[in-house]
Amino acid sequence: MKKVLSGIQPSGQLTLGNYIGAIKNFVKLQETHECYFMVVDLHAVTVPQEPSSLREQSQAIAALYLAAGIDPQRSAVYMQSHVRAHAELGWLMTTMTSIGELERMTQFKDKSAGKDSVGAGLFIYPSLMAADILVYNADLVPVGDDQKQHLELTRDLAGRFNSRYGDFFTIPQPYIPEVGARIMSLDDASKKMSKSNPNPGSFIALLDSPDVIRKKISRATTDSGREIRFDQANKPEVSNLMGIYAQMSGLSLAEVEAKFEGQGYGPFKKELAERVVDVLEPLQQRYHEIRSSGMLEDVLREGAAKAAGVADRTVEGVKEKMGFLKG
C-alpha cells in the first residue's frame, strides 16, 4: 500500500482553507493508502507561540482531524514532536540543503517580510518538512498549492541523497486538489486564507459559530458587479466564494454558476453561509464530543508509537549510509 504523509501547524485556529486544501483530502486518502497525519508542532515554533495556545491548538487540531473523519484505527494521528526521528533527520536534511535553495522559498519571503528579527528556524523549516516526508518514504503528500515549492525541494533533497549515498529514499509526489487548492482570504483575494492572519474576518475558523460564519461571509469583500461568474482574473473575490461553495456542496463550478444565474451577491452569500454551516455544524459537534471523551491522549500515543516504528528505522538507515557509527 502506498504511503501518505501530511500535517498542519498548530499556529492558530484551523480555517476552512486548511479543511478544503488538506483535511478533506486526508479523509479520502485513508481509504486507499497507509496514512500518517501529524500535528506539526515543531514547525509552529518557527514563529513565537504562547505555550498555553500551542498546547490548546495542538489538541484542537488532533481532535478536528478525528471529527472530520480521520480514523485512528486506520491512520496514525500524532504530534510531530513525539516522534524524535523528525528532528534528527531534519538536521541531516539541513546539512544537505543550500542557503540559496532556502532563500528562494516564497513562504519564507512572505512570512519574514517587514519583520525586524526572523528566527533561523523559519528559514530552515523546509529541510525539516523534507525530513517529515522522507522519514516515512511517503509516496504522496496531500498539500495546498502554497506548499508545492517545499515539496519540490523535498524531491530534490531525496534525489541528492540517493545520488550521493545510493538509492534509499522514495521520491514523493504532491497531491494537490484541482479545486480548492488555494482558498483566499475573505477580505483580500490576493492573499491565501491563513490561520495566523491577525484579522479574524479574513478567515472562517472551523470552530466559528453559525452566526459568526454568516456574519463573516456577508462581510466578505466582493467587486461592485452582481454577476456570479467564475473568472479568477477579473472577479477573484466571487471566484473564491464560488470555489468554497463548490467544495461545500459537491457541485462543480459550472453548476454553481448556473444555480445562481441572475441572482445578486446577497442571496448567493446567504446560501453559501448555509452550506458552510451544514458542513461545519456536525463536525463541531463531533469535535466537542471527542474533546470531552478524553480519548485524544491514547490516540496520540498510539499514533506516535506506530509512526516511530517506521521513522526510527529510516533514520538508522540514513545514518549508516552517511557513515555514522552505530550507537
- What does the binding site for ligand AQP look like in residue numbers (CB under 6 A)? 8-9, 11-12, 15, 17-18, 20-22, 40, 143-144, 146-147, 181-183, 192-196
Determine if residue 218 is labeled as part of a ligand binding site. no
Rounded to whole angstroms, the Cα distance separating 27 from 22 reads 9
Determine if residue 126 is labeled as part of a ligand binding site. no
Determine if residue 11 is labeled as part of a ligand binding site. yes
Grid coordinates representing 244 are: 468554497
SS3 content of the chain, % helix, strand, coil (to 5): 55, 10, 35
Answer whether 161's CB lies under 8 Å from 169's CB: yes
Catalytic residue among 24, 192, 216, 306: 192
Residue 182 or 214: the one with the smaller Cβ distance to ligand AQP is: 182
Determine if residue 187 is labeled as part of a ligand binding site. no
Cα torsion at 55, 60, 66, 67 (round to 10°)?
170
Catalytic residue among 3, 24, 195, 235: 195
Grid coordinates representing 307 are: 509512526
Determine if residue 116 is labeled as part of a ligand binding site. no
Residue 72 or 243: the one with the smaller Cβ distance to ligand AQP is: 243
Residue 82 or 160: the one with the smaller Cβ distance to ligand AQP is: 82
Rounded to whole angstroms, the Cα distance separating 229 from 81 reads 45
Least distance to ligand AQP from the beta carbon of 263, Å? 26
Q: Which phi and psi angles does 3 have, rounded to 5°?
A: -105, 145
Least distance to ligand AQP from the beta carbon of 218, Å? 20
Q: Is residue 215 flagged as an active site residue?
A: no
Residue 197 or 284: the one with the smaller Cβ distance to ligand AQP is: 197
Determine if residue 144 is labeled as part of a ligand binding site. yes
Q: Is residue 319 flagged as an active site residue?
A: no
Residue 70 or 318: the one with the smaller Cβ distance to ligand AQP is: 70
Rounded to whole angstroms, the Cα distance separating 240 from 16 reads 12
Determine if residue 18 is labeled as part of a ligand binding site. yes
Least distance to ligand AQP from the beta carbon of 145, Å? 7
Ordered alpha helix ranges (H), 191-261: 210-219, 236-249, 253-259
Q: Which phi and psi angles does 175 have, rounded to 5°?
A: -120, 100
Q: Is residue 111 flagged as an active site residue?
A: yes
Length in residues, the chain: 327
Q: Which phi and psi angles does 319 have, rounded to 5°?
A: -65, -40
Cα torsion at 279, 283, 285, 286 (round to 10°)?
150
Residue 58 or 147: the one with the smaller Cβ distance to ligand AQP is: 147
Catalytic residue among 111, 259, 319, 321: 111
Least distance to ligand AQP from the beta carbon of 125, Å? 10
Residue owning grid cell 502554497: 146
Q: Please name which of 72, 78, 99 lies closest in space to residue 6, comparing C-alpha atoms.
A: 78
Strands 34-39, 173-175: pairing kind? unpaired
Active site residues: 111, 192, 195
Annotated binding site for ATP: 9-11, 17-18, 144-146, 183, 192-196
Residues annotated as binding site for L-tryptophan?
132
Residues contributing to the annotated binding site: 9-11, 17-18, 132, 144-146, 183, 192-196
